[in-house]
Structure 1
Amino acid sequence: MSGIAGIGSGINIDEIVKASVTAEAAPKAAQLKRLDDTATAKISALGTLKGALAEFADALEALKSAKLFNQRNARVSGGQGIEVSADSKAKLGQYQLQVIELAKSSKIASGAVKGGADTPFSEGGKIDIHLADKVYSMEVKAGTTLGELQQQINTRFKDQGISAGLVNDPKSGESRLIFSAKEGGEGNDLQFLVSSSDKQLNALGDKKEVLQQASNARFTIDGLPMESASNDIKDVIEGVNFKLTEVTEKPLTLTIESNQVDIKKALHTFVGAYNKLQSTFGELGRVVPVEGGEPLVGKLTGDSTLRHLQNGLSATFSTAMTGELRVLADLGISCERDGKLKVDDKKLDKALTEQYQAATAFLSGENGLMSRLEKSIQSYSEKGGILETRINGEQKTRDSVKNQLEALNLRMQSVEKNLYAKFIAMDRMISQLQKTSGSLNGLLGMV
């Protein structure tokens, strides 16, 4: 009905109707906008708080488990020749290790044949490969070439740890198979036997040459002589595995120490997450006076959820524990005037070195500080917890506002329609009255 003007009355009906509808809708629309703006701001603020709290909860999770504190770091100093790792079973301490000899695996060369990889064996036969006290046999079909035989050996005996290589002598034109055992250790030697009426195939079994005899690794731990069939040494020292890579001229120092590097990193992450949470508290709950104007306030200023969460954390931090370490300051983590934490790395290093077990008990475990802090925030951070419930409640408010706005728009459409109908009826009546008045004036003029 836009653009309607009274023909009889000359009144701008469209302008009057729109002004009337706007005036009637404005108070309710303004109220709903305020509700929506407030709910939107609360959702944003609570979401920010929830995110900061989740980051803090992750930092607590990393420190509350004893697993982090039970891990061990193993390192070797004084030279090269040993690679080492340790698990939680390893005891803290130092050892002197020297590698006298590396373990070697058996390696033998077959007899020589002419013709290279394409040399065919006109007749078949049988090959027996001896490894320690075991014998592995393989039939060779007539027509098989030397190269094919090499591939068949590698395929057939892969799981037994036996492999074959092929070498060619450029001067003589002769070729040989080189047999290698994967595992070393004294007595784990290879032998190679051929049974065939084929001269070339039999030649592989003649004039064999031992290239390397299997032998044990020999090493000392704190001067105590030891041997191993492998260069990978496991559990000679409980919880410690090491790999011998080269002979050492002198003993190397093996140190098993606590996992201080990762613990320090986790503590710095914890401090950073807590300080971020404190900044979030300050931003959301701030009241900043403004001279000559309204103070600047945070989106959750005066909010009971924010206040109770802050109070719960503060109470947990301020409650001293029993034991050698009672508060975070004993570890070198102090609370500044602004409520944020600060790490004194020298004091922290000293505590982790000299009071490692006490630090473990203070921070981790069911009764440790991290578990206590986790319990103080759990009802807020968990799925279906206080913050999620609050956010869902504010979202319901927004949904309700949306529904009320839709209802208001429908009602205003009805009001607009009724007003147009009334004004149009009035305009028609005025027009009719004007016509009647004109007729009467005409009759009176004739008298």
Structure 2
Amino acid sequence: MTSVSSTTSSTATTSSTSSLTSSSGASVTTSGSSTTTSVDWDSLIASAVNAKLAAATSISTKITANEAKISAYQTLQTDLSKLSSGLSSLATAVVNSLATNVFATRAATLSSTGDVSASSALSMSVSNGAATGDHALTISQIATSHKVMGTTQSSQTEDLGYSGVFSLGLAGGYTANIIVTSSMSLQDIVDAVNAQTSTTNVEASIVQVSSGAYEMVLTGTKDAADITYSSSSGTDILNSLGFTDSSGAFANVLQTAQAAKFSLDGISMTRDTNDITDVLAGVTFNLLQATPTGSAINISIGTDTSQIQSALTTFVTNYNTYRDEVIAQQATNSDGTASDSAVLFGDGTMRDITTRLEAALNTTVGGLSMSDLGLSFNDQNELELDTSTLSTILSTNLSGVTKLLSAQTTTSSSQLSVVNTGTSPQSFSLDLTVDSSGTLSSASVGGDSSLFTISGNTIIGASGSIYAGMAFTYTGTTSQSITVTSTSGIATQMYQIAKTASASTGSLQTLITSLQSRDSELQQRVDDITTAAATFKAQLQTQYAKYQAAIASADNTMTYLKALLNASSSN
């Protein structure tokens, strides 16, 4: 007997065998595999697509690394911005009424000689740039306002029955007509007077002396000026209310109007107010009471050194914040390799900024250095401030501290005064031109007159130039060249370094912008790869669906053939 065998192979895992015996006694065996249900088509597609996406994953890792660097750069940028902001008040030391630096701030100390309490007799305020010095003040009398009272009235709300018009005001000022009708009460008259106070500077009030007893009071709102009154028509209202006598004079004067009389450093003065603003420039005296004979108030005006200490304390905090971030970016593992969190390890820009800040901090000016201010580094490498050391040098060598910390600008002529040094002081020769009428017409450096603008006798550095922020006043009447010399202290140098590095056009922003641009490019590549992978997946799904259909068709054919063979075998 001859045996013939036929085998069909596929990716299916289930096999079957059928035998057929011919009439001649020959046996045919067919074996095959079915079905398609054991094929993991999703895994096949996922594997192929993931292979395509591997490049995108690698690029995304680069983007994540760049984002970490951007965040670190932005932190440094913020820290440096705070550092420069805190140093701005220490960076310059021009003293005038417009100055905002701590060296121009003023404080007044009061003490007394004789039987008087300084704080009870005087309060005062001092503006930036006021002249420093010591003064002695005596007060003969304080300024008072005029105050008069009418006779007692039994009600403040009942109609008085008076009808008339009177004029009211203060001597030397404006007056206004007050109209009174018969239906008006005492309170109504008070309201009518107060409605004109902004014009007359006279205000009215009602004092309840006892039950059923009310008295109207008129008070001048300015010192040293008498209340003026005249009846215009109808009833003489104030006379009827008991304010005036038969001669028209005020009958009940509670307080006379008088000027303030005082003496400063032996110079006698009189003012119509207790708020004295025109004796010392930038100084306001508030006279509270007269000083007894033989007593005086001692006034000492000086630099408010507490503001300098506060600014240095802020500087220490801000500098340590920046330094701590730099140290964190230099962290290493136990094997000496860079820590995973130190994404800026070895960064040249960060190192350059830090080096320049440290160099500025170690500047010596006039034999003084940061240690003379009480500044030092502790064992954690953090900056510390010894306020006791600082307090001592502020009281003994304030001028030295000022030069050590701030920008200093001087001129070779007393006719050119420095109004502002700016935060980037320069040294140069300023050529001034005065026309035939003696008017300042131009200011130039090296023949370039666009670097400064002229406004009257004020010379201002042009915006965008290296002289921006510098300002001078010129009192001369002839053309001349004047040498301007500037120096920069510790705070000035560090301010400039920190501000430049943290600016929107600074070195850190340049790095941030570059990384952001690179990330945009990389993200586009990721998006392109992802899109291509999605297209590829769709293609595979279509292609494998066709495979499934073909296999299913083959399985059906196999099943049919097996059935035929089995049927033949049975016969």
Which range, TM-score by smaller chain? Answer: 0.7 to 0.9
Aligned to 1:226: 269
Aligned to 1:109: 149
Indicate the RMSD between aligned Cα atoms, in angstroms. 3.6
- Could you tell me the TM-score, scaled by structure 1's length? 0.83
Letter in 1 for 2:110: V
Shift of 1:161: 1.4
1:222-301 superposed matches below 5 A: 222-249=265-292, 250-290=295-335, 296-297=339-340, 298-301=342-345
Contact 1:121 1:200 in 2 (8 A): no
Q: Is residue 389 of structure 2 the alignment partner of residue 340 of structure 1?
A: no
* 1:176 to 1:193, Cα distance in 2 relative to 1, 3 A: farther
Q: Whose RCO is larger (CA < 8 A, sep 6+)?
A: 1
Q: Is residue 79 of structure 2 the alignment partner of residue 52 of structure 1?
A: yes
Aligned residue among 363, 383, 392 for 1:350 = 392
SS at match of 1:90: coil
Contact 2:180 2:189 in 1 (8 A): no
Shift of 1:263: 1.3
Aligned to 1:194: 231
2-side partners of 1:197 and 1:443: how far apart?
Answer: 141
Contact 1:71 1:259 in 2 (8 A): yes
SS at match of 2:130: coil
Structure with higher Rg: it is 2
1-side partners of 2:54 and 2:234: how far apart?
Answer: 111
1:402-441 superposed matches below 5 A: 402-404=526-528, 406-407=530-531, 409-414=533-538, 416-417=540-541, 420-421=544-545, 423-424=547-548, 427-428=551-552, 431=555, 434=558, 438=562
1:108-147 superposed matches below 5 A: 108-110=148-150, 116-122=156-162, 124-129=163-168, 131-133=170-172, 136-138=175-177, 140-145=179-184, 146-147=186-187
Contact 1:108 1:178 in 2 (8 A): yes
Structure with the higher strand share, 1 or 2: 2
SS at match of 2:301: strand
1-side partners of 2:167 and 2:569: how far apart?
Answer: 145
* 1:141 to 1:9, Cα distance in 2 relative to 1, 3 A: closer
Gaps of at least 5 residues in structure 1 are none
Shift of 1:284: 1.2
1-side partners of 2:155 and 2:57: how far apart?
Answer: 99
1-side partners of 2:235 and 2:53: how far apart?
Answer: 109
1-side partners of 2:50 and 2:233: how far apart?
Answer: 112
2-side partners of 1:49 and 1:197: how far apart?
Answer: 81
Shift of 1:53: 2.0
Contact 1:84 1:241 in 2 (8 A): yes
Shift of 1:332: 2.6
Q: Is residue 12 of structure 2 the alignment partner of residue 12 of structure 1?
A: no
Shift of 1:362: 2.9
Aligned to 1:216: 259
Contact 2:145 2:220 in 1 (8 A): yes
* 1:390 to 1:84, Cα distance in 2 relative to 1, 3 A: same
Aligned residue among 93, 105, 110 for 1:71 = 105
Percent sequence identity over matched residues? 23
Gaps of at least 5 residues in structure 2 are 1-10, 14-33, 94-99, 246-250, 408-424, 426-487
Deviations 1:315-372 (A, max 9, x none): 3334x354354x3233232345655322222222222223223322332333333332
- Could you tell me the TM-score, scaled by structure 2's length? 0.66
Letter in 2 for 1:190: I
Q: Is residue 349 of structure 2 the alignment partner of residue 305 of structure 1?
A: yes
2-side partners of 1:77 and 1:217: how far apart?
Answer: 21
Deviations 1:401-445 (A, max 9, x none): 342452354255146326624743663576378469748966996
SS at match of 1:287: coil
Aligned to 1:61: 88
